[in-house]
Structure 1
Amino acid sequence: MSDRSSLDLSTTHVTTEEYLAPLEQSRGKSNTLVSVQSEEKSYVAHNYLADDDAEQYKRFSPARKVVIVCILSYYAFLAPISSTAILAAVPEISKTYQTTGDIINASNALYLTSMGIASLVWGPLSQVWGRRPIFVTSGVLFFLFTVATALSPNLAAYFFFRVLTAFQGTSFLVVGSSAIGDVYEPRSRASAMVWLLSGSMTGPAAGPFLGGIIVTFRPWREIFWLLSTMSGFAALILIFFFPETIHSKSSGDLAGKSLPQKSKLLWQRISPIRVIALTFSYPNIFIAGLAAGALVWNQYALLTPIRYILNPRFHLNSPIQCGLFYLAPGAGYLTGTFVGGPWGDYFVRKYIKRRNGLRIPEDRLRSCLAFISIIAPGCILAYGWTLDQEVGGIPVPAIAMFLQGVAQLFCFLSINTYCLDVMHEEGRSAEVIASNYLFRYVFAALGTGVVLPATKAMGVGWFNTVSALFLVAASAAVWLTVEYGPRWREAIDSK
């Protein structure tokens, strides 16, 4: 998937011998490659990347890069915290609008669905016009729609402005990940990406805690006034301090063309169909999305029903008591932040060293295999069945949520950086990230909408068993991608 002309094939001929051996055994079975020499060069060029320090990564000083990461991390915190801050206040909101808790949870599902759809838009747009214009536009609109949500006079207005707020919020995550890829070279990318993920993942856990505190002492609308203040501050930071990070915008291709030609070319660049087609063309990209979807399903299936399940189990009476449970996974995400980045970069450097300076994008996924296949499913099972059987008291689910938080951060870090790496040479990393977030928020919406009725019908133990099996199946697919991803990409690219 890389056509980098500067790759030194005279070097890779020797250093990749170990990894080309399986390919040698399969000659004669594949009709996608022609000769021994061209086959080896094609395989190397498409699947191995020279890990040099390109000039594009030297445009910003180390201190400026830290500032960029800090802004992006705070930015990424906002959309997820807005999605979950109302969870502890669902009964109060439903009472205000004279409806049921299921209907208010449905608004949250719509919020997440809107985020998924928006991912198809923001990623491609940022490749055409640049990261900064997208950030500034979406940041200002996010602030305005959050204010409108706080002022919503009825349920229809509340639904409408929640959906519009979510549509803007996705750019924080999709374009933010792409901006990390713009300024950090692959060997150190995970150590920067982990802070962006820390913001995006502590948001869902911190939201209900803050919401619980507010709704215990103040009206629920104060939640959205707090979010408005935070998002307004973010918009100002973006306007005055965030630089353009992309090194090559494709909007230059529009110069000198007629209006019909510009319209056609622009649609080809930003069409959501382009992202969807990319997702289903490459098995490795589809599997990365499915794995991310399985993780988010479990995340939101864990967070959504806390007030309805844990409060009755442990005889808790106030929203703030419920909100304290959300601190357990949040602490797990923060703990993972300090070790997840170095862990992911260690795996990349380890396999670069084995190949004498060459890497393949799939190496990034190796760092999450144990977490996605064993630790996360194990925590989900422990959480579900101890609650179902009413054993272990409060410590067991709290510890399970903490460990699952650590495991999820390691997994998301591996998947996010893989999405940045796998088509970076073609300039389509934002589209790969966009497709991945589409999976995430589709499954987040399903998890939010399904978890309460499914838990009531199946019981918390069996529902979490199904969720754990989904994650195990996704982990098996990730392992196949690690082993066969380069070969899959070669087969698709050679067609």
Structure 2
Amino acid sequence: MGASNAMSPTTSKASSIEDAMPVMEEIRTKESKAQQKQPENGNALHLVQSHLSNHDMPVTTEFREVDEEQYLRFSPPRKIVIVAVLSFCSFLAPISSTSILSGIPEVAATYDTTGSIINASNALYLAFMGIAAPFWGPFSQVWGRRPIFLVSAFLFFAFSIGTALAPNLPAYYIFRVLTAFQGTSFLVVGSSAIGDVYEPRARATALGWFLSGTLIGPALGPFIGGVIVTFCSWRVVFWLQTALGGFGTLLVFFFFPETYPHLDKSEVTEKPAMEKAQYLWHRVNPLRVGILLFTYPNLFFAGIAAGALVWNQYSLLTPIRYVLNPRFNLTTPIQSALFYIAPGCGYLVGTFMGGRWADHTVKKWIQKRGRRVPEDRLKSCLVFLGIIIPGCILVYGWTVEKAAGGIPVPVLAMFLQGVAQLFCFPSLNTFCLDVMQSSGRSAEVVAGNYMFRYVFAALGSGLVLPAVEKIGVGWFSTISAIFLVFAGCCVWATTVYGDEWRTKIDAKNRDKAAQSTNELPPPPQGEKKAEV
């Protein structure tokens, strides 16, 4: 090649730099504009997505929650401590609902009454857990999670002492009811607190641990009670409950922070007395929970599903001593109490899988849709709710009725239905937290769901013994299975149409609010418009 066409390395390099200058200048201009649009924050390392516009968003396929900042307030170890405290407290009220089942004949003998009367006190306990639910949810949205937890934990401790010392049957009933009213706070406010600190794609796993306490408690309660009643007085059951309540109070005081992100007490403190009373009544009115539950079909159907599961749980656990003792010739409370271990182990095994399965299902549907739809989570429990649990209950009921299969068959059926329930409850509970979180009403939705649960728990606990005596355990189990299948159909309809139902009702509510605003009467002509 000739000298005229040759190009030195220096010349080539200079030419390349000159060619790259316009590109580099364009990059610097874009970076400068981006920095001007970012808020001044020394810790910012990249563009932050705007919640108001898609303009200038970085190109990414990763899904982001709108309110993701609130889930960064606590470190992962602190979140684990919060879940551990809440899980222990969630164990208290449910274990109290069944711990005396193995000692019902002994309690009846103390108060010179019948086992049916004492069993009615357990049904009343569950009924008041349902009645209390609509109160605790709204209370926690006004005063915060921590104050409500502290008060209810201390009162649970105090009323447990009253039950242990009850001198007669009316006092026993009164203190049982008061204990139940406090205990529901652990379940409603505890679920809401987990929703405060865990984002939707991860919270079902945490809720699985929390709910394990609510399910393992009723299963292990009769076993613990059976051991105590065999060797000690039945009152020791409630002294143990007192000790657990006192320990829970200390845990809440030292390790449970305020988690509610929307707490603003100035809304209450800065108002005049009359306006403050009206505001508080509007915010804590328990009727809000019922209205919300019956306004949205998806919330109502989720309540039906939760109610069917708890009906099945308590109608299975309540009559074990009366049904299985004569079936297998058992003679002591501790022998029948051993049967409660099977569903308890099932709940424990399900804890490790149910929540993770619900979170996995949500993530899978987010990838398909590109957005999160709360009802998609319910797809994770359809098979368990509509097929597996009803099948287990039918096997349990008819093998006991027909005296077939010996001890292993009902034990295995109770274990498998226990595992399946932990695939259902995390899905239902997390759906309740997700579906109204943007409007700040998650605690009310959870409260309504627990109201359904414990109303049906009271019905199941109160009706199972008379029904089994009249129609047999096989046919009663068939009724429970049909109820579960119906609930499964309701949940399936919610997964298909729930998003559409919710969107239509929200739009109708917005239109109604706008119409009421536009229809405000104008001031009379000639008068000055009053200031608001």
Do Structure 1 and Structure 2 share a fold, with TM-score over 0.5?
A: yes
Q: Measured at CA, do residues 491 and 52 of structure 1 come closer, stay the same or move farther in structure 2, by a change above 3 Å? A: closer
Residue 395 (1) aligns with residue 418 (2): no
Q: Using the alignment, how far apart are the partners of 2:270 and 2:264 within structure 1?
A: 14
Q: Measured at CA, do residues 7 and 181 of structure 1 come closer, stay the same or move farther in structure 2, by a change above 3 Å? A: farther
Q: Is the 8 A contact 1:7 1:50 kept in 2?
A: no
In the TM superposition, residue 53 of structure 1 has moved relative to its aligned partner by 6.4
Larger radius of gyration: 2
Q: Using the alignment, how far apart are the partners of 1:336 and 1:143 within structure 2?
A: 30
Matched with 1:245 is 259
In the TM superposition, residue 50 of structure 1 has moved relative to its aligned partner by 5.1
Residue 442 (1) aligns with residue 437 (2): no
Corresponding residue to 1:452 among 455, 465, 475: 465
Matched with 2:90 is 76
Q: Using the alignment, how far apart are the partners of 1:255 and 1:62 within structure 2?
A: 34
Q: Is the 8 A contact 2:137 2:447 kept in 1?
A: yes
Deviations 1:343-370 (A, max 9, x none): 11100000111123x1100011010000
Q: Using the alignment, how far apart are the partners of 2:145 and 2:306 within structure 1?
A: 24
In the TM superposition, residue 137 of structure 1 has moved relative to its aligned partner by 0.2
Gaps in structure 1 of 5+ consecutive residues: 16-48
Deviations 1:239-263 (A, max 9, x none): 1221111111153322321111010
Q: Using the alignment, how far apart are the partners of 2:504 and 2:64 within structure 1?
A: 21
**Structure 1 segment 253-292 matched on structure 2, within 5 A:** 253-292=267-306
In the TM superposition, residue 7 of structure 1 has moved relative to its aligned partner by 6.3
Matched with 1:46 is none
Q: Using the alignment, how far apart are the partners of 2:71 and 2:406 within structure 1?
A: 50
Q: Using the alignment, how far apart are the partners of 1:166 and 1:454 within structure 2?
A: 25
Corresponding residue to 1:411 among 407, 421, 424: 424
Query: SS in structure 1 opposite 2:91?
Result: helix
Q: Using the alignment, how far apart are the partners of 1:342 and 1:477 within structure 2?
A: 23
Matched with 1:182 is 196
Identity %: 64
In the TM superposition, residue 237 of structure 1 has moved relative to its aligned partner by 1.1
Q: Using the alignment, how far apart are the partners of 2:368 and 2:362 within structure 1?
A: 10
Q: Using the alignment, how far apart are the partners of 1:263 and 1:228 within structure 2?
A: 35
Q: Using the alignment, how far apart are the partners of 2:152 and 2:300 within structure 1?
A: 27
Q: Using the alignment, how far apart are the partners of 1:209 and 1:139 within structure 2?
A: 24
Residue 136 (1) aligns with residue 150 (2): yes
**Structure 1 segment 11-90 matched on structure 2, within 5 A:** 51=65, 54-90=68-104
Residue 325 (1) aligns with residue 370 (2): no
Residue 376 (1) aligns with residue 389 (2): yes
In the TM superposition, residue 325 of structure 1 has moved relative to its aligned partner by 0.3
Q: Is the 8 A contact 2:205 2:426 kept in 1?
A: no
Q: Using the alignment, how far apart are the partners of 2:385 and 2:464 within structure 1?
A: 21
Matched with 1:33 is none
Deviations 1:398-437 (A, max 9, x none): 0000000011111111100000000001000000000000
**Structure 1 segment 161-240 matched on structure 2, within 5 A:** 161-240=175-254
Residue 466 (1) aligns with residue 479 (2): yes
Q: Under a length normalisation based on structure 2, what TM-score does the superposition of the two structures give?
A: 0.84
Task: Specify the code of the residue in structure 1 equivalent to 2:381.
Answer: C
In the TM superposition, residue 51 of structure 1 has moved relative to its aligned partner by 3.0
Q: Using the alignment, how far apart are the partners of 1:284 and 1:380 within structure 2?
A: 26
Q: Measured at CA, do residues 254 and 393 of structure 1 come closer, stay the same or move farther in structure 2, by a change above 3 Å? A: same
Residue 304 (1) aligns with residue 304 (2): no
Q: Using the alignment, how far apart are the partners of 1:376 and 1:290 within structure 2?
A: 15
Q: Using the alignment, how far apart are the partners of 2:165 and 2:77 within structure 1?
A: 40
Corresponding residue to 2:351 among 337, 347, 371: 337
Q: Is the 8 A contact 1:295 1:408 kept in 2?
A: yes
CA RMSD of aligned residues (A): 1.7
Matched with 2:379 is 366
Q: Using the alignment, how far apart are the partners of 1:237 and 1:186 within structure 2?
A: 26
Q: Measured at CA, do residues 10 and 384 of structure 1 come closer, stay the same or move farther in structure 2, by a change above 3 Å? A: farther
Q: Using the alignment, how far apart are the partners of 1:122 and 1:364 within structure 2?
A: 25
Task: Specify the code of the residue in structure 2 equivalent to 1:426.
Answer: S
In the TM superposition, residue 379 of structure 1 has moved relative to its aligned partner by 0.4
Q: Using the alignment, how far apart are the partners of 1:468 and 1:341 within structure 2?
A: 24
Residue 6 (1) aligns with residue 19 (2): no
In the TM superposition, residue 472 of structure 1 has moved relative to its aligned partner by 0.3
Q: Using the alignment, how far apart are the partners of 1:367 and 1:136 within structure 2?
A: 34
Q: Under a length normalisation based on structure 1, what TM-score does the superposition of the two structures give?
A: 0.90
Task: Specify the code of the residue in structure 2 equivalent to 1:420.
Answer: L
Q: Which runs of 4+ in 1 moved over 4 A?
A: 7-11
Higher RCO (Cα < 8 Å, 6 or more apart): 1
Q: Is the 8 A contact 2:51 2:66 kept in 1?
A: no
Deviations 1:134-182 (A, max 9, x none): 0000000000000110000000000000000000000000000000000
Q: Using the alignment, how far apart are the partners of 1:349 and 1:432 within structure 2?
A: 23
Q: Using the alignment, how far apart are the partners of 2:258 and 2:325 within structure 1?
A: 47
Q: Is the 8 A contact 2:156 2:182 kept in 1?
A: yes
Q: Using the alignment, how far apart are the partners of 1:248 and 1:176 within structure 2?
A: 16
Q: Using the alignment, how far apart are the partners of 1:250 and 1:101 within structure 2?
A: 49
Task: Specify the code of the residue in structure 2 equivalent to 1:188.
Answer: A
Q: Using the alignment, how far apart are the partners of 2:217 and 2:255 within structure 1?
A: 23
Q: Is the 8 A contact 1:149 1:157 kept in 2?
A: yes
Higher mean Cα deviation, 52-61 or 203-212?
A: 52-61
Q: Using the alignment, how far apart are the partners of 1:219 and 1:56 within structure 2?
A: 49
Task: Specify the code of the residue in structure 1 equivalent to 2:51.
Answer: S
Deviations 1:91-145 (A, max 9, x none): 0000100111110010001101111111011100000000000000000000000
Q: Using the alignment, how far apart are the partners of 1:461 and 1:287 within structure 2?
A: 27
Task: Specify the code of the residue in structure 1 equivalent to 2:89.
Answer: Y
